């Protein structure tokens, strides 16, 4: 895997994290309820702790994966491991097809692939959040159902970062950008509420961008699979 390929994979992975819709959807609903129950200052405070929870669990997941990858492939063998590359290639192809066909449920709305019981459970929990710890925990829990889409990204990005480091180039900046990407859509929604947007406005926007999101996610996962092939190791 070349350094340029590694940088390309990291950038595409960041795009995917910025396009995923589950956590932003939960955050939009949570902030809507918070604004209705509390004053604007407290609602904003709870929203920021939700974001902090999301960022905390994202960083912990990534560091855990990076640590494991770095231990098992200290000798740079991760980039020459044929079974691993075939497995990653297959996973990203499957995820590409999944996003194109199943990421959204059929219908006019923006309902995602998650079981129907999950939104009800989240909605019930959101209504009980009254303090920072509850908001922080909700931010952590909201990431759980998208791990099937994000965990492979942590693996391939960890390998890419190790490749950059092994080439003698600093990887601090791409690493930092990657781990902070999941909260960019949350801050986008945060500022939309700040400037007067409502939950209805945000939902309309989500429905309008649904075809683009579905296609873009499928293309990005496929692009990573192609870059894995492009390394010449498969």
pLDDT tens digit string along 55-112?
A: 999 999 999 999 998 887 755 555 566 777 889 999 999 999 999 999 998 878 788 9
* Neighbour count for residue 31 (Cβ, 10 Å): 25
Q: 167 phi and psi, to 5 degrees?
A: -85, -5
Q: What percent of the chain has pLDDT over 90?
A: 66
- Taking alpha carbons only, the member of 142, 162, 196 closest to residue 78 is 162
Token look-up 């303090």 returns: 131
Q: Write the CA distances from 15 to 35, 37, 130, integer angstroms.
A: 30, 34, 33
User: Tokens for 19?
Assistant: 């396009």
Q: What average pLDDT score do residues 117-144 get? A: 88
Predicted TM-score (pTM) of this structure: 0.92
- The mean-pLDDT minimum among 10-19, 144-153, 179-188 falls in 144-153
What distance in Å separates the CA atoms of residue 83 and residue 137, rounded to the nearest whole number?
37
User: Tokens for 144?
Assistant: 């759980």
Going by pLDDT thresholds of 50, 70 and 90, the confidence category of residue 234 is: very low
The answer to whether the beta carbons of residues 145 and 22 sit under 8 Å apart is yes
| Phi-psi domain of 38 (left: phi exceeds 0; alpha: psi -120 through 50; beta: other) | beta
* Neighbour count for residue 196 (Cβ, 10 Å): 7
Side-chain-facing half-sphere of 131: CA atoms under 13 Å: 1
pLDDT, position 19? 96
The answer to whether the beta carbons of residues 23 and 182 sit under 8 Å apart is yes
pLDDT, position 15? 97
The answer to whether the beta carbons of residues 111 and 105 sit under 8 Å apart is yes
pLDDT, position 77? 57
Q: Helical H runs in 2-81? A: 3-19, 22-37, 40-72
Which residues, including other chains, have CB under 8 Å from residue 233's CB and lie 6 or more apart?
1, 79, 80, 82, 85
Q: What average pLDDT score do residues 186-209 get? A: 93
114 or 16: which carries more pLDDT confidence? 16
Q: Is pLDDT of 7 > 60? A: yes
Considering the chain, what is the average pLDDT of its residues? 89
């Amino acid at each position: 895997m070349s350094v340029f390929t590694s940088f390309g994979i990291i950038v595409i992975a960041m795009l995917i994290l910025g396009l995923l819709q589950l956590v932003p959807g939960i955050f939009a609903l949570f902030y809507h309820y918070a604004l209705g129950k509390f004053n604007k200052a407290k609602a904003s405070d709870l929203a920021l702790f939700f974001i902090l929870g999301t960022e905390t669990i994202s960083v912990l997941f990534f560091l855990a994966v990076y640590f494991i990858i770095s231990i098992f492939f200290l000798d740079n063998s991760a980039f020459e491991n044929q079974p691993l590359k075939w497995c990653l290639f297959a996973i990203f192809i499957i995820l590409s097809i999944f996003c194109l066909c199943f990421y959204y449920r059929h219908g006019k709305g923006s309902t995602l692939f998650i079981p129907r019981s999950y939104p009800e459970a989240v909605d019930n929990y959101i209504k009980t959040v009254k303090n920072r710890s509850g908001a922080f925990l909700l931010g952590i829990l909201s990431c759980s159902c998208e791990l099937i889409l994000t965990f492979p990204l942590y693996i391939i990005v960890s390998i890419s970062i190790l490749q950059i480091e092994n080439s003698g180039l600093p990887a601090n900046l791409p690493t930092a950008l990657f781990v902070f990407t999941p909260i960019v859509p949350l801050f986008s929604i945060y500022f939309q509420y700040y400037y007067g947007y409502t939950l209805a406005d945000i939902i309309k926007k989500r429905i309008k961008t649904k075809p683009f999101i579905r296609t873009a996610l499928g293309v990005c996962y496929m692009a990573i699979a192609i870059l894995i092939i492009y390394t010449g190791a498969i």
